[in-house]
Each structure stands twice: as C-alpha cells, then as structure tokens.
Chains A and B, each alone.
Chain A
Amino acid sequence: MNLKLKALTKSIWVYHMSTGSCNNCDIEIIDMLTPRFDVERFGITLVGSVRHADAILVTGSLNLKAVPRIKQVYEQAAKPCVVIAIGTCSCGQGIFKNGPNCPNPVDSVLPVDIYVPGCPPKPEAMIAGIVKLIGKLKEKK
C-alpha cells in the first residue's frame, strides 16, 4: 500500500450536501461526530468548504433545482474526491420514485462510489459503509 492512499484513507474530510432531504439523514450524520460514535478517531471530520473535502455525502432525493448545483459542487471539489449516497432517497429515490419534481437518481448525475441505504441509516451503517469504501479503494488502487 503506498503512502498516498494510506494518507487519503486515514484522514477523510467530509462535506455534507443536502439535496432536498427531510433532514433525518443529516441529523444522523451529525450523530456520527457525537461522543457515542466519534468518527474523529478515524480522522474523519466535517469541513465547511467543498474545496477541502475528500468525500461528499449526498442526502435527499435530488430535486430539479439541486441538479445543477450538485454538479457545480462536485466540479469544485479537489480531486481525488469520492461521493457517498446516504439514505434510501439518494440511493434509489425511495418514496419519491414517481415524483414529478425529482426525476433524476443521484447516480445518474454523479459517480457514486458507495450507497448506504436506510431511512435514515444508522450511524453504525454509515461507519460500515466507510469501511467498505476504504476496502474498495485499496483494491482499486
């Protein structure tokens, strides 16, 4: 394993992008930073600017207004940057499957690297998702 990949996987800075969610997933994401789960022990922190991010967490059902914005946000991120879809809505549109205002699944707009389903997913599920993502990145290299 080379140094670059090791550094990238040991210090994942996360940018949080809500594309019209009900805020439940967002609250669960904040839960990951609380004393009970404390993902800072793996070097994961929330950052304010997408320029600093190594991972973009997408929550919500991606409504029409959010499509150009999330594309812009992804283009602004410094690469390498992974995209994680959090919650049933952003994984497979959930109950908004036939909704008129959110016809695009997230993975038709962005290259999603890993899906964490659940409504909302538990913090344990998100941590498991990140572990699987790190394994996948190490395999791909």
Chain B
Amino acid sequence: MLKHFFNLIIFPGFLFTALVGLAACWIDRKLTARIQWRVGPPWYQPLVDIVKLSVKEITVPAEASRELFFLSPLIGLSAVTLASMLVWLPNIDPTSKGFSGDIIVIVYLLTLPATVVILGASASGNPLASLGASREIKMVLAYELPFIISMMVPVIKSHGLLRLSEIINYQALNGPFVWSLSGIIAFIVMIFCMQAKLGLVPFDASEAETEIMAGTYIEYSGMLLAIFKLTKTMLMVVLPLFLITLFWQGFNFLSIWKYVILLVAIILIRNTNPRVRIDQAVRFFWGKMTLMAVLAVLLALKGF
C-alpha cells in the first residue's frame, strides 16, 4: 500500500515525471530558440513559470460554471499522473507485472487531458474558449482513430498480448517491433498523433495564440493555468515513453537516448511546420494517417 502510494506520488509518478517533464520543456524551448538563432531561456525557466503562476491570483469569470472550472485541471493532472505510473513501472521495475489490459487503460487515461481541456473551456463561458473547445473536439476525433488503429499493430505482432510488461518481454526475445515494416509505419503514425495529443505546432489550432488568444486556456489564470501547464509538461514525458514501450523494446535509465531522439523529433516537427487549419488537420488524420495505419495493421496480420 505504502509502496504504491510512493510510486504514485514520488518516484515514477507525479514528482519524478514532472521534473523530467520540466527538463524536457526546457530542452524544447532552448532548442526552439537555437533554431531561431536566439539564446533561449535559462534551465530553471519552466520551473519558475510554474511557481510564478501558482502564486498569482485565480480569476473566475462571472458566467463560469465554478465546479467544472476548478475540477477539470485537477482531473487532467490526476489522469496523467496515473498514466505515468502505469507506463514507468513495467519498464524500470522488473517485479512489477501490471495487469492484463493495462495498455487500454493507459489509452483512456491519455485521452482524459484533452477531454478536460474541452470541459474547462466550455465551463469558462468565453466565446473564444468555446471556439477553441470545438476545435479541440474535432482534433480529438481526428487523431484518436489512427492512434488506436496503429496501437493494434504491437498487439497483433505479439499474438494478442495486452499487458505492457509482456509486450516488453516479447520484444526482448523477438526484437523490437519498430524494425519491422508494419512496425515502422505504425510508429510514424503514432509520432504524428503524439504531436497532436501534445497540442504542439502544427496541430495547435485549439490554442492558437495569434488568432484566438490561447483559445481553450483563455480564462484560466494562476494555479489552475499552472496545473494545465504541468499536465502538458508531464504528457511530454508519458507519451514518448509509451511509444517507446510499445514499439521500441521499452527503456531503462541507460537507454535514455531513445527518449531524446523522440523529443528532438517532436521539436523539429514543431519548428519546421506552420499551423494547419482544423479542416486540414482532420483531412490529414482521417486520410493519409488512417490509410497508413490500416496498411500497417494489414501488413502485421500478414506477418511483415
């Protein structure tokens, strides 16, 4: 009991993931700045931002639905915390076996942050926030389809295993899935879906700062905004690690380079693409990405 509590709050769960996420967030900002020939912020900048936001006043709009407005960031943070623990533990702790079907639970938990962003934005009663929420709904509908189809690939290739630790063991015996044809296609699809799940450019239409002024977060301030930022930061750790676990034989503290490669891929996609309109994003995910995911599933069924 105490060990589970420790796992959830301190070591692989909330605190550790948040710290790794803040470091990743700094790498993101620094690399972005270097790409744009700037100097970039110092290493403590993401942490200072979170601390500063949490000492500021929380403003609640008069027309907001208060309970939902306050609850939605907390639900998102707890979902990501739980997902981070479920992803970390099978990788770093060999005694932890997880439970059968935990990858399905993780997929649901990783959908929750987007859902609570929609809920919070709708609760704030701002027209721009509701515009952002409608875009976020379309984006969730768009990227979840290829994400879940391409998640079937590791399950098919491991002959129906639904437990994260067993998938890692299977890959340790038979080689990572990413080095097969179907695996690499599904992995590429997953990388684009991850970009959209993180809400980064080019798929950040729901919080487009230059057109709808931070969109879904427009009415949030102080601690609640800090919690949303922290959720985003932690997702930046959990999602790449989840992908590595599914396709790339898992990780331990020696194979941190896998995570760094994925992080740099995210940052490069982010810095070399303009923001797409929401209809372009939906067409991209339901068109090319879904076709590629279905192709990967067919190839996996044939054994490639």
Q: What is the interface of chain A, defined by CB distance below 8 A to chain B?
A: 3-4, 6-8, 10-11, 34-35, 38, 40-41, 43, 47-49, 51-52, 54, 76, 78-80
The docked-state distance in angstroms from the alpha carbon of A52 to that of B221 is: 5
Whether B45 contacts A76 by the Cβ 8 Å rule is: no
Q: Assess A7 versus B55: contact at CB under 8 Å? Given A41-B40, A48-B210, A48-B218.
A: yes
- Residues of the A chain whose Cβ atoms lie less than 8 Å from the Cβ of B36: 35
Whether B52 contacts A52 by the Cβ 8 Å rule is: no
Give, as a whole number of angstroms, the nearest-CB distance from A29 to chain B.
15
Q: Which residue of A lies closest to B46 (CB)?
A: A11
Main secondary structure of the interface of B (DSSP, over half): loop
Whether B39 contacts A49 by the Cβ 8 Å rule is: no
Give, as a whole number of angstroms, the nearest-CB distance from A127 to chain B.
13
The docked-state distance in angstroms from the alpha carbon of A6 to that of B39 is: 21
Give, as a whole number of angstroms, the nearest-CB distance from A52 to chain B.
6
Max chain A C-beta neighbours (<10 A), residue from B37, B39, B218, B221:
B221
Give, as a whole number of angstroms, the nearest-CB distance from A124 to chain B.
16
The docked-state distance in angstroms from the alpha carbon of A100 to that of B221 is: 38
The docked-state distance in angstroms from the alpha carbon of A11 to that of B51 is: 9
- Residues of the B chain whose Cβ atoms lie less than 8 Å from the Cβ of A49: 213-214, 217-219
The docked-state distance in angstroms from the alpha carbon of A34 to that of B210 is: 16
Whether B56 contacts A78 by the Cβ 8 Å rule is: yes
The answer to whether the Cβ of B49 comes within 8 Å of any Cβ in the partner chain is yes
Please name the 6 residue pairs, one residue from A and one from B, whose CB atoms are nearest each other, closest first: A48-B213, A78-B221, A51-B221, A7-B52, A48-B209, A7-B51
Give, as a whole number of angstroms, the nearest-CB distance from B60 to chain A.
10
Max chain B C-beta neighbours (<10 A), residue from A3, A4, A8, A40:
A40
- Residues of the A chain whose Cβ atoms lie less than 8 Å from the Cβ of B212: 48
Cβ contacts B211-230/A at 8 Å (1 or 0 each): 01110011111100100000
Whether B48 contacts A51 by the Cβ 8 Å rule is: no
Give, as a whole number of angstroms, the nearest-CB distance from B29 to chain A.
8
The docked-state distance in angstroms from the alpha carbon of A6 to that of B38 is: 24
The docked-state distance in angstroms from the alpha carbon of A43 to that of B43 is: 11
- Residues of the B chain whose Cβ atoms lie less than 8 Å from the Cβ of A78: 56-59, 221-222
Whether B52 contacts A10 by the Cβ 8 Å rule is: yes
- Residues of the A chain whose Cβ atoms lie less than 8 Å from the Cβ of B33: 38, 40
Sample of 20 further A-B pairs with CB below 8 A, known A11-B48, A11-B52, A48-B212: A6-B48, A7-B48, A10-B44, A10-B52, A11-B45, A11-B49, A35-B36, A35-B37, A40-B33, A41-B40, A43-B42, A43-B48, A48-B210, A49-B214, A49-B218, A51-B59, A51-B219, A51-B220, A51-B225, A54-B56
The docked-state distance in angstroms from the alpha carbon of A79 to that of B58 is: 9
The docked-state distance in angstroms from the alpha carbon of A52 to that of B214 is: 10
Give, as a whole number of angstroms, the nearest-CB distance from A49 to chain B.
4
Contacts of B184-224 to chain A: CB distance below 8 A: 209-210, 212-214, 217-222
- Residues of the B chain whose Cβ atoms lie less than 8 Å from the Cβ of A35: 36-38
Give, as a whole number of angstroms, the nearest-CB distance from B135 to chain A.
15
- Residues of the A chain whose Cβ atoms lie less than 8 Å from the Cβ of B56: 54, 78-80
Give, as a whole number of angstroms, the nearest-CB distance from B54 to chain A.
9
The docked-state distance in angstroms from the alpha carbon of A38 to that of B45 is: 14
Whether B57 contacts A79 by the Cβ 8 Å rule is: yes
- 18 chain-A/chain-B pairs, Cβ below 8 angstroms: A3-B51, A4-B55, A6-B48, A11-B45, A35-B36, A40-B29, A40-B39, A40-B40, A43-B41, A43-B49, A49-B218, A51-B59, A51-B219, A52-B214, A54-B56, A78-B56, A79-B56, A79-B57
The docked-state distance in angstroms from the alpha carbon of A3 to that of B50 is: 12
Cβ contacts B114-154/A at 8 Å (1 or 0 each): 00000000000000000000000000000000000000000
